[in-house]
Amino acid sequence: MTLGVTAAVCTRNRPGQLRRALRSLVAQELVPGEILVVDNSPADDATRRLVASEFPRIRYVREPVPGLDVARNRALTAATMDIVAFLDDDAVADPYWIATLSSAFADNPDAAACTGRVDPLALDTEAQRLFEANGGMTGSQVTRRLRLPRDAGLLMGGRPAPRVAWALTAGCGCNLAVHRQRALALGGFDEALGAGSMAPGGEEGDLLWRMLAAGLPVICEPGARVAHEHRETMDALAHQLAGYQAGIVALLTKTLGRTRGQERLGVFAFLVWRLAKPLVRLLRRTMGRDPLPASMLLRMWWSGWCGLRAYRTGVRVAANRRRTPPT
What are the pLDDT digits (tens) for 15-26? 999 999 999 999
pLDDT of residue 156: 45
Answer whether residue 161 shows pLDDT above 50: yes
C-alpha distances in Å from residue 81, one per residue of 192, 196, 254, 281 = 26, 27, 31, 44
Provide the residue range defining the domain that includes 208.
Answer: 5-232
Let me know whether 104 and 188 are in one domain: yes
pLDDT of residue 314: 87
Let me know whether 61 and 203 are in one domain: yes
Let me know whether 121 and 226 are in one domain: yes
Answer whether residue 152 shows pLDDT above 90: no
Answer whether residue 149 shows pLDDT above 70: no
pLDDT of residue 295: 96
**Measured CA angle at 266 (ends 261, 272), to 5 deg:** 130
Answer whether residue 284 shows pLDDT above 90: yes
DSSP string of 23-35? HHHHT-SS--SEE
Average pLDDT over residues 166-191: 93
Let me know whether 86 and 37 are in one domain: yes
Average pLDDT over residues 21-36: 97
Answer whether residue 3 shows pLDDT above 90: no
Higher pLDDT, 180 or 262: 180
Average pLDDT over residues 89-111: 96
144: left (phi over 0), alpha (psi -120 to 50) or beta: beta
Let me know whether 139 and 288 are in one domain: no
Lowest mean pLDDT among 51-60, 69-78, 247-256, 260-269: 260-269
pTM for this predicted structure: 0.92
pLDDT tens digits for range 201-210:
888 999 999 9
Let me know whether 279 and 225 are in one domain: no
H or E stretch covering 228: strand 218-228
CA 250/CA 192 separation, integer angstroms: 9
Query: How many domains are there within the chain?
Result: 2
CA 285/CA 294 separation, integer angstroms: 7
Answer whether residue 263 shows pLDDT above 60: yes
Let me know whether 225 and 312 are in one domain: no
pLDDT of residue 105: 97
63, 36 Cβ separation under 8 angstroms: no
Let me know whether 246 and 145 are in one domain: no
H or E stretch covering 163: helix 163-169
Nearest to 172 by CA among 195, 151, 191, 150: 195
Mean pLDDT, the chain, as a whole number? 91
Nearest to 251 by CA among 148, 159, 167: 167
H or E stretch covering 115: strand 113-120
CA 247/CA 164 separation, integer angstroms: 13
Q: The domain that contains 43 carries what CATH number?
A: 3.90.550.10
Average pLDDT over residues 1-26: 93
Q: Which of 232, 256, 278 is the last residue of a domain?
A: 232
Let me know whether 220 and 287 are in one domain: no
Model confidence at 325, pLDDT cuts 50, 70, 90, reads: low
DSSP string of 249-308? HHHHHHHHTT--HHHHHHHHHHHHHHHHHHHHHHHHHHTT--SS-HHHHHHHHHHHHHHH
Let me know whether 143 and 130 are in one domain: yes
Average pLDDT over residues 181-185: 97
Helix axes 234-256, 261-286, angle to 10 degrees: 160
User: Which residues sit opposite 36 in a β-bridge?
Assistant: 8, 59
Let me know whether 255 and 219 are in one domain: no
